[in-house]
Structure formats: structure tokens, C-alpha cells
Amino acid sequence: MSDYSNSDLGRAPDPSTPTLQTFARAGRQRLSGGGWEAAKRICFLIFLVLVMLIPLSMVESVVEERGWRKQEVAAEIGEQWGPEQVVSGPALVVPYDYVETRSLADGKTESTTRTRYLVFTPDHTTITASAKVEKRYKSIYEVPVYAADLVIAGNFASLDPAPHGVAPAQVKWQAASLVLGVSGIRAVKSASLEAARASRTIEAGMLPYHPFADGIYAPVPLSPTLGAAPGGFDFSFTLALNGRDSLSFQPLGRQTEVRLASDWPHPSFTGTPLPDTRDIRADGFTAKYAISHIATGAPLSWRAEEFKLDPARVTTFGIGLVEPGDVHQQTDRIVKYGVLVVGLTFGTIFVAGLLKRDRVHLVQYLLIGAALSLFYLLLLSLAEQMDFALAYLIASLVDIAIVAWYAAATIRRLLGAAVGAILAALHGYMYVLLQMESYALLSGTIGLFVVLVLVMYVTRKVDWFALGQEPKEAAA
């Protein structure tokens, strides 16, 4: 049975009864209400910040490309001046006669005498190295290089071939040679050797039976009595070589002591072990090492055909020349904070728009974001030509002036001043973070918390549900 009678057909509808138009109007009011309007604006702000990741990533790619180019220049200078140097050894190589016997088909035997080699390491070695650092330039790039003077002195004690199954009569002490490994032999400026109380002639290159891939050696003829004597003999290498980036050592022998000194105030101690003592000053550093044969990764003596030195397993230690003011590293670090700078700048404009009911167009946001992104490109291009601190100051002033002027001219004068002040504080804070190493993460995190608290304080009285609605006075 129908709920409506025939008399209802001509009756006017009750105004209090909801209709489809009423529901639609209410839905539109809810969609355009404050809560939804605030959500739309915040999503718009997040979208803009994410869009700015595109130019920031492009700037970061430029910074990486310039850094790679500097590495290529450093490699080119290294080819001309000297590579990363690794000094190994020294070691004494002594040939001996080895009789090889084989059976013939008729039951007889045939003996063949072949030459094989024994390798002995020093009983005690002292390495004194002094490196003077200077900078070489190519185009707009500068690369630190060094000229090192080394004195490698020590003593070979009793040279006993018996543990290797070699009789003293088989050993050819007169054909012994003292070898020293040097990775960049072309960068050796001078070398001399005094061994067994006599000056020796240095030869370049390594023979196939030598334990090192490249280096220098000198014939050191020994008498059978000297070679087997308990006191052994003393030696002293004097070496002058060029190099870049690092100077490392691969010691051999029972006990090695190394003393390093340089006028470079930013050393990086590499490898194992670390120095026993070190003194880093503004005018340079000194460091001392003491290494026993247990830690070297090599025996005290061996047959050349039975053991081969593996550079990857032999103990290697030394110093690296660190450039704390490298413009590409610092610019790369600060570009990583770029999204934070963009987000806080956009957030300032966004909050000011809420409080003052200013309307900011998408184009205005994008132009301000472009100015913020170009700051990093300007910083890099200036820092490659001048001191980083001065380049940062100039780039910051230019960026602050452009953004503050545009915000004042197109949105509100007071907003321009506020954005300029906040941007100046951000650039100053970013520079302070660059100077920190151990506390950069802690300081950055505390700064973010401070910014968050400030945003919460400024927007504490904002009625987010009233956004998009007309003021009550205007509605009345």
C-alpha cells in the first residue's frame, strides 16, 4: 500500500523535509570547508617541495661531475709528478744451486743443477720519512702533492739457509742482491745504498725472482763468512721520491720502526696498525710506529719458489693527505640539506599566507624555488675560483636578496623581510654544520626540533577548519 494518497499530489512540499538538492549543497559545503581546504593546501605545499627535488638533484649531479673531473686531473698530475707511493721491504735475495735428479728409461739417473733463490728479511729496520707538501695546479683545480725523503736503515743478522734444506756450500753469497719495493719507480728522484760498509750501485726494475713487482735493487756481494756470520751486515737506503695523496709502507723483518713527519696539518692515518704515538699541529705532524714480524703477514725468510708475497695480505700502513676544505665535498654536503632549506622557506610563505590570508600562486613558489636551487650552483662556481668561505658569503647574500625582494614585491613587504631573515639564518646554520664533523648530525637534529617547535608555536591559534570560509563579519 502506498504511503501517499491522491490528495498529496497537489500539496506543496514541506520545507523541513530534506531533498536531493539539500544533500548536494551540504556535501559541497563539507568539501569546501576548512578541514578539506587545509588538507588541500598542505598537499599542495608537499607537492611543491617534492617538485624542487628535481632541480636539486640536477645541481647535485653537476657537483659530482665536477668532483670526478678533479679526480681525473689529480690522476693526470699523478702521472706527471708521482702516484700514491707504497714502499715495501727491504729484502735480501741470494741464489743457490739446486740439484734436480730424474730417472731415465734405462734405469740410470740424470742430475741437473738449477739456480733457485732464498729471500731473507732484516732483523731490525728503521724507516725515517719526511714529506714536504705543495700544491700543483691545472686549470681551476689544485692537487696536493709531496716530495718525500726516506732513510731506510737496518741490519741483517745471521743468514742461515739450513732451515730451508739448503747447505751452506750451495749458497752463492757473491751474487746476493738487496731489493726494495717502490710502487711508483718513475717518481724516484734519487737513490743510494750503503751495505756491508761499502757503497752499492742502484739498479732500477725488478727481476723475475725478486719478491716485489716493482722497485730498485743493488748487487751486494757477500763473502761466505760474512753471510753466515752471527753479526750479519748493516745497510742504509737513502731515497727521494715524489707522490700524491698517500705514502704507505709494507714492512718486512723481525722488527720495524717507522717515524713519519710532514708539514701537512691534516693527515689521515691509513691501514693497520695505527701509529703508537702521533702529534698533529697547525704546522704539520709526526707519527711513530713499531711493527713486529708477527703482524707483517710474511715469514722471516723463505724459498722464492715456495712463497710469494701477496700485497693484499701484507701489512700496509701510512698517511693520506686529506683536504678538509675541498669545495666539491663541502658543496655536496650542503646540497643534501637543500630540500630542508626549500621546505622551510616554502613553509614560511605558507604559514604567513594562512595568518595574513595572502594568496600565493604556483608560479611564485616555483620562481622562489628556482632561486634557492641556483644558490648551490652559484656557490660551486664561485668556490672553484676563490676561498670557500668567501664564495659561500657571496652566494648567500645574492640568494637572500633575490628571494626577499621577490617575496616583498609580489606578496607582502613584511613577508619579504621575514623570508630574508629566515633564509639568512638557514644559510648561517648550514655553514656552521659544514664546519662540524663529529657533531653535525646532532646539531642538525636539534635544529630541526627547534624549527618544528617554532612552527607549532606560530600556528597554535590557527583555526584549520575555518580555512576557505568567509569571515563571520563578511558573511553577516
Rounded CA-CA distance 177/93 in Å is 5
- What is the four-CA torsion angle of 312, 313, 319, 323, rounded to 10 degrees? 40
**Does 475 score more than 50 pLDDT?**
no
- Report the pLDDT averaged over residues 264-281: 89
- What is the four-CA torsion angle of 19, 20, 21, 27, rounded to 10 degrees? 110
Q: List CB contacts of 363: < 8 A, sequence separation 6 or more.
A: none
Identify the bridge partners of residue 149 per DSSP, sorted by sequence position. Answer: 130, 240
- Report the pLDDT averaged over residues 46-57: 83
Q: What is the mean pLDDT of the chain?
A: 80
Q: Using omega within 30 degrees of 0 as the cis cutoff, is the peptide bond preceding 55 cis?
A: no
Residue 81 pLDDT grade (very low, low, confident, very high; cuts 50, 70, 90): confident
CB 313 within 8 A of CB 297: yes
Query: What local confidence, expressed as pLDDT, does residue 259 receive?
Result: 95
Hey, CA dihedral for 27, 29, 32, 38, is it positive or negative? Answer: negative
Q: List CB contacts of 448: < 8 A, sequence separation 6 or more.
A: 340
Residue 23 pLDDT grade (very low, low, confident, very high; cuts 50, 70, 90): very low
Question: Is 71 strand, coil or helix?
Answer: helix
Query: What local confidence, expressed as pLDDT, does residue 232 receive?
Result: 77
CB 436 within 8 A of CB 443: yes
**Does 187 score more than 70 pLDDT?**
yes
Residue 152 pLDDT grade (very low, low, confident, very high; cuts 50, 70, 90): very high
**Does 22 score more than 60 pLDDT?**
no
Residue 213 CA: distances (Å) to CA of 44, 123, 180, 209, 302: 63, 23, 10, 10, 17
Residue 122 pLDDT grade (very low, low, confident, very high; cuts 50, 70, 90): very high
Using a pLDDT cut of 90, give the percent of the chain over it.
Answer: 19
**For the chain, domain boundaries:** 36-67+328-469, 84-323
Residue 227 CA: distances (Å) to CA of 119, 169, 237: 13, 12, 19
- Report the pLDDT averaged over residues 272-290: 90
Rounded CA-CA distance 270/319 in Å is 6
pTM score, whole prediction: 0.69
Higher pLDDT, 376 or 150: 150
Rounded CA-CA distance 218/175 in Å is 10
Residue 122 has which C-alpha cell? 732484516
Least confident of 184-198, 209-223, 315-329, 462-476: 462-476
- The DSSP code for 33 is S
Q: List CB contacts of 122: < 8 A, sequence separation 6 or more.
A: 90, 92, 154, 155, 156, 235, 252, 253, 254, 256
CB 416 within 8 A of CB 388: no
**Does 1 score more than 60 pLDDT?**
no
